Chains A and B, each alone.
Chain A
Amino acid sequence: MDAILFLLFAAIAVICAVNLVLQTHPISSALSLVGVMGALALLYLQLGGEFIAAAQLIVYAGAIMVLFIFVIMLLNAGKERKLPRKLWVTFAGVPLLAGFIAIAAFVIHRMLPVTEGVKFGSMTHGSPQEIGRSLFQTYLLPFEVTSVLILIAILGAVVLASKEIE
């Protein structure tokens, strides 16, 4: 059962990712990215990361992607025009990509012994209590620093975006 679920959501994620790369209009790419994030959230759930799954949907898919879509619509970006491309480039790209993936997979297999698998419900440490406990005890400093980081980002964004159009 777990395997079927994994394959289903993995397929959704991959298809959306491919779509993101291949679409010409940025809006289409953005919506594909939302799809990827949704699929990934479900995968996190299978891995026992309840909090993370929720955070992914709320923060990533809900806030960041909305921001992306705002900007795309604001700038009224059109379709990307196609460049004349040489023939061999088209046919070299995919095999090279596949090659890269193959190398990565090989490395992973070398490093990871095939011992156990993932079962839904095996991990119990992903609950919000655990996360909260860890966040406010072990990782308190990074937590506070990230809040400063967010403050800086806000300031930067406000400064950059508020310049008048000449």
Chain B
Amino acid sequence: MPEIPLPQSVPLAWYLILSAILFSLGVAGFLFRRNVITVFMSIELMLNAVNLSFVTFSYKFKQVDGHIFSFFVMVVAAAEAAVGLAIILTIFKNRQTLEIDEVSSLKN
């Protein structure tokens, strides 16, 4: 097996790059998908990516504040998911569709 020159410890930058990748994938899903629920899940993906960032920096400074912040993000994401899904339910009840382009009463 060829020696792959892996570093001894994982450089911090890799975590952050991973976070960036996940975030941009979330943005892509958020922009390009038309199903409302899928858009919502892309938002959750973005939040997760940001959580990873927080924990990484918390490791860097050897403090627990990053974890706390990540914890709060999770709590807020939970609340947001609850209310958002309730809204989606209402929209579905009124319009019988989950297309995001159909929710355009504010047009013009």
Interface check B6, CB cutoff 8 A:
yes
Chain B positions 36 through 55: 1 when the CB is less than 8 Å from some CB of chain A, otherwise 0:
01101110110010011001
Please judge, given known A-B contacts A80-B38, A135-B68, whether A165 and B93 are in contact too, CB under 8 Å: yes
Question: Is the CB–CB distance between B87 and A160 below 8 Å?
Answer: yes
Query: In chain A between 36 and 86, which residues have their CB closer than 8 angstroms to a CB of chain B?
Result: 36-37, 40, 43-44, 46-49, 51-52, 55-56, 59-60, 63-64, 67-68, 71-72, 74-75, 77, 80, 83
Chain B positions 1 through 44: 1 when the CB is less than 8 Å from some CB of chain A, otherwise 0:
00000111111111111101111111111001111011011101
Question: Is the CB–CB distance between A3 and B6 below 8 Å?
Answer: yes
In the bound complex, residues from chain B placing their C-beta under 8 Å from that of A6 are: 10, 14-15
In the bound complex, residues from chain A placing their C-beta under 8 Å from that of B26 are: 17
- A65 and B11 CA atoms in complex are apart in Å by 31
- A10 and B9 CA atoms in complex are apart in Å by 15
Question: Is the CB–CB distance between B86 and A77 below 8 Å?
Answer: no
Question: Is the CB–CB distance between A126 and B67 below 8 Å?
Answer: yes
Given A40, A48, A114, A157, which contacts B59 in the complex, CB threshold below 8 Å? A48
In the bound complex, residues from chain A placing their C-beta under 8 Å from that of B82 are: 67, 153-154, 156-157
